[in-house]
């Protein structure tokens, strides 16, 4: 089987779409399939051994070119994101000119590589390209990218112009295009994201360790905030105030601060969470999909600051409903509040117990192997 994977471009560094692309590509190869990418070489891209990457354009946020990383981050921090459609508009992915160009290059990759199936990692243009080339298409999917959850139809004009010019049905919201796919892969569980439909497969987190050993002694605090929620210096300052010289080793992952170690405070661009999480009393994060899944599969209670992003708010609310952690506003990122919640997690084992139970359910869904097998059945 020949598979073309087309991830959406992220204009700032993030652990999401491309990390899932790498996991899928490597598993496809492991199972004997031939893989190619059509991925923009944005800040998250890196080459994968033995995998050709066909050219894809990088969108310009709000149609503005030559923005610096700092200005992009500033705008993303200031902007409230109410729907995935608004995100796509914000990053420029459904801009009329860019969308036509994006579909063109994906179609070009299809014609050159001749795949049996396309996997769209939340990339609307890839689904449209697949339909125009009459090829089966699977997509990554989540509860929050459904039109019925939240949409902004006012941003659909450019895409509709392209659809009409190419004899495809116009849509009220571009999120309806997800329903054109043959298969939806949800890297979660029905309990967390209750999505109905015959072509929906729940696989849990794509990435998980082969064995998980959770230690009884919990002496680590792990924090990762990604981009656009809590600034790195605020993150470091408040956690230092709360836990410096305490019994906890504090690990703060951020790409934006030079690594250092001071007493029990450890700051680095990245850590091996598989080593830290078994001994973590809390995972402080921004509510990204990968982050909440990491916390659950290791049975670690979470403190989540989702900020203004709709998807992160939903993820955080799911953790609260599971009684596996707390969701707080950005203004509540305060060392006294954080320390109080960590003390509560220490005294009340319910949070860890609920997290562990939900994590075991997720792991039983099969992860990346189940995702690949579902695509194999489709083809």
On the CB side of 240, CA atoms within 13 Å amount to 13
CATH class of 2-181: alpha beta
Running DSSP on this structure, what letter comes out for residue 210? S
Asked if residue 300 lies in contact with residue 282, where contact means CB atoms within 8 angstroms, the answer is yes
Residue 17 has φ and ψ, to the nearest 5°, of: -55, -45
Cα–Cα distance between 311 and 344 in angstroms, integer?
27
Residue with tokens 């990418």, as numbered in its chain? 37
CA nearest 180: which of 148, 135, 143? Answer: 135
Q: How confident is the chain (379 residues) per 10-residue block, as mean pLDDT?
A: 94 74 96 97 91 95 52 54 93 96 98 98 97 98 96 97 98 98 97 95 88 79 88 96 96 93 95 94 95 95 94 96 97 97 96 96 95 97
Residue 291 has φ and ψ, to the nearest 5°, of: -65, -50
* pLDDT of the residue at 15: 62
Q: Which two tokens stand for residue 82?
A: 């109410």
* pLDDT of the residue at 12: 66
> Which residues have CB under 8 Å from 52's CB, separation 6+?
36, 37, 113
CATH number of 220-363: 3.40.50.2000
Asked if residue 220 lies in contact with residue 281, where contact means CB atoms within 8 angstroms, the answer is yes
Residue 214 has φ and ψ, to the nearest 5°, of: -100, 120
* pLDDT of the residue at 368: 96
Range(s) of the chain covered by CATH 3.40.50.2000 = 2-181, 220-363
Q: Which two tokens stand for residue 81?
A: 């994101």
CA 332-341-238 angle, to 5 degrees, is 50
User: pTM to 2 decimals?
Assistant: 0.89
Cα–Cα distance between 25 and 37 in angstroms, integer?
9
> Which residues have CB under 8 Å from 210's CB, separation 6+?
none
95-122 CB burial, b ≥16 within 10 A, e <16: beebbbebbebbbebbeebebbbbbbbb
Tell me the Cα Rg of the chain: 21
CA nearest 228: which of 49, 75, 94? Answer: 75
* pLDDT of the residue at 78: 55
* pLDDT of the residue at 251: 98
User: CB atoms < 10 A from the CB of 182, how many?
Assistant: 17
User: CB atoms < 10 A from the CB of 313, how many?
Assistant: 18
Q: What is the DSSP string of 86-132?
A: HHHHHHTTT-HHHHHHHHHHHHHHHHHH--SEEEEES-HHHHHHHHH
């Amino acid at each position: 089987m020949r598979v073309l994977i087309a991830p959406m471009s992220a204009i700032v560094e993030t652990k999401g779409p491309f990390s899932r692309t790498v996991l899928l590509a490597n598993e496809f190869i492991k199972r004997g399939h031939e893989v190619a990418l059509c991925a923009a070489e944005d800040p998250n891209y890196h080459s994968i051994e033995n995998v050709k990457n066909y050219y894809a354009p990088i969108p310009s946020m709000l149609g503005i070119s030559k923005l610096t990383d700092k200005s992009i981050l500033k705008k993303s921090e200031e902007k409230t994101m109410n729907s995935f459609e608004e995100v796509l508009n914000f990053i420029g992915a459904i801009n009329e000119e860019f969308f036509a160009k994006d579909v063109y290059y994906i179609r070009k990759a299809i014609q050159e590589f001749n795949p049996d199936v396309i996997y769209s990692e939340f990339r609307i243009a890839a689904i449209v390209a697949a339909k125009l080339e009459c090829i089966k298409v699977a997509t990554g999917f989540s509860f929050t990218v459904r039109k019925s959850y939240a949409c902004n139809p006012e941003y659909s004009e450019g895409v509709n112009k392209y659809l009409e010019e190419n004899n495809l049905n116009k849509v009220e919201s571009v999120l309806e295009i997800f329903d054109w796919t043959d298969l939806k892969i949800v890297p979660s569980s029905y309990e967390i994201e209750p999505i109905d439909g015959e072509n929906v497969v729940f696989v849990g987190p794509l990435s998980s360790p082969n064995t998980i050993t959770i230690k009884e002694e919990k002496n680590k605090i792990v924090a990762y905030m990604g981009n656009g929620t809590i600034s790195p210096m605020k993150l470091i300052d408040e956690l230092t105030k709360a836990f410096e010289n305490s019994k906890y080793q504090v690990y703060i992952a951020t790409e934006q601060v030079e690594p250092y170690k001071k007493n029990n405070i450890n700051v680095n661009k990245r850590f091996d969470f598989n080593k830290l999480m078994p001994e973590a009393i809390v995972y402080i994060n921004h509510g990204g999909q990968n982050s909440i899944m990491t916390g659950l599969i290791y049975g670690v209670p979470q403190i989540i600051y989702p900020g203004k992003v709709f998807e992160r708010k939903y993820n955080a609310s799911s953790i609260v409903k599971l009684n596996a952690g707390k969701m707080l506003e950005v203004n509540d990122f305060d060392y006294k509040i954080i320390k109080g919640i960590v003390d509560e997690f220490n005294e009340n084992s319910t949070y860890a117990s609920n997290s562990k139970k939900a994590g075991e359910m997720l792991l039983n869904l099969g992860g990346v192997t189940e995702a690949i097998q579902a695509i194999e059945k489709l083809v």
